[in-house]
Amino acid sequence: MVILLGEDTIPVIKMTKDKQKNNYMENGKSFHDSMKFLFRISQFFGLFPLQGTSSSTYKDMYFSWFSFRTIYTLLIAVISFVHGVWCAFFLMSSQVTFEVYELNVFFFYARGGLTCLVFLTLAKNWPLLLRDFEKVEKFSLQYPPSTVRDRELKIITFVIFFCAAVEHFTVQFMNFVASVRCENNIWDTFHRFFVYISYRQVFSYVSYNIFLGILLQTLNFFVTFGWTFIDIFIINASKNFSEKLVQLRNQISTTITSEIHSSNSWGKLREQYTQILTLFRTFNQKLNNIILVSFATNIYFLLTQLFAWMRTNGSETTLHHIYHALSFSLLVSRTGFVCFYGASIKEESVIIQKTLVTIPSHLYNDEVI
């Protein structure tokens, strides 16, 4: 049911108290509120070094170059870059020729360093971006309820993180089992695992130390988390952004159905539409580097992983073939999710334009035209 409060008033959906409560919980929960749990976790892995992320308002957030979180992020970025360059140097010095997929380890750690830097840049701009986003969220509260469910985003996040964790630990487990089969005691097993299987490029120049091996293994896990997190962030951000356009489209449809002729009502909708698109354009400029790092590295690893799989010889076990198939499928799915949700904003803006084109002629006014 639609309530018309006056000639110049945008129609409001009449709701019961329970629906009003649900609408508040769905529309009233800000974009940052839906993301701050991920931000708190990511800061442990050296990403998004912003102070005050546990707050719900941008006024309590600030960035400092001299904070522990920023220094921690820069340290992980530098270590990742150095380790990546070290891997490339080892490869070029130990082999006259090599296949392109053998550079994966270099790109893996270089991408980890880039991920730290792009999220550091985003953290600097986050309070100002949230200030503009809060303005959109305030007037969108009057729109029809959002279809975004916090549970939906949590399920997507959990599934992607879970699959990435299974893939990561499966590789480590297979390598460790291979070490166990070649050694008789646990210390020699760790020695083989770190020196000959996982980090030969480091221990070829540095004396073996189990603590250094554990440190390198931790860095590997941090970089793997960053690779997954950057995709998760794009998916969650895109879903929240596009939903604001969905709410606006539903509000326009409600205004058309209610046959509102008032120029003031349509003028408010036009202003809000312009404000949302301006906000998205700003966000897009700030997220360009994040999207580039995510998409470029995903495509690179897709191609090299497929190439390496096709080059496998008959010595590969069935378990290895199963792993290659599952790993490749996971990477394709993640890249597909990023593309699908990333394109949803453009898609929704096109749908709004089509909705405006279908407005009945008797509702035309200066704002509609």
Series of mean pLDDT values for 10-residue runs along the chain (369 residues):
43 47 49 85 93 87 93 95 89 70 85 95 92 84 67 84 89 87 87 88 88 93 94 90 85 81 80 85 87 91 83 67 82 89 84 81 68
Q: Is residue 127 part of a domain?
A: yes
Q: How far apart are CA 71 and CA 76, in angstroms?
A: 9
* 139-161 pLDDT per residue, tens: 877 776 665 566 777 888 899 99
Strands 12-13 and 2-3, bridge-based pairing: antiparallel
Of the candidates 25, 248, 18, the one whose C-alpha atom is nearest the C-alpha of residue 139 is: 248
Is residue 156 classed exposed, middle or buried when 0-12, 13-18 and 19+ CB atoms within 10 A define those classes? middle
Domains in the chain: how many in total?
A: 1
Q: Is residue 369 part of a domain?
A: no
Q: For residue 119, what are the domain limits?
A: 15-363
Name the 3-class secondary structure at 2.
strand
Q: Is residue 231 part of a domain?
A: yes
Q: Is residue 22 part of a domain?
A: yes
Q: Is residue 168 part of a domain?
A: yes
The residue behind tokens 């296949």 is 99
The residue behind tokens 């495509």 is 299
- pTM for this prediction: 0.85
The residue behind tokens 């546990």 is 54
Residue 259: which region, alpha, beta or left (left: phi > 0; alpha: psi -120 to 50)? left
Q: Is residue 239 part of a domain?
A: yes
Long-range contacts of 20-23 (CB under 8 A, 24+ apart): 22/145, 23/141, 23/145
Residue 28 · residue 103 · CB < 8 Å = no
Q: What is the SS3 string spanning 154-221?
A: HHHHHHHHHHHHHHHHHHHHHHHHHHHHHCCCHHHHHHHHHHHHHCHHHHCCCCCCHHHHHHHHHHHH
Tell me, what's the pLDDT at 115? 95
Q: Is residue 3 part of a domain?
A: no
Crossing angle between the packed helical segments 210-257 and 263-310, to the nearest 10 degrees:
150
What one-letter code names the amino acid at 353? Answer: Q
Q: Is residue 10 part of a domain?
A: no
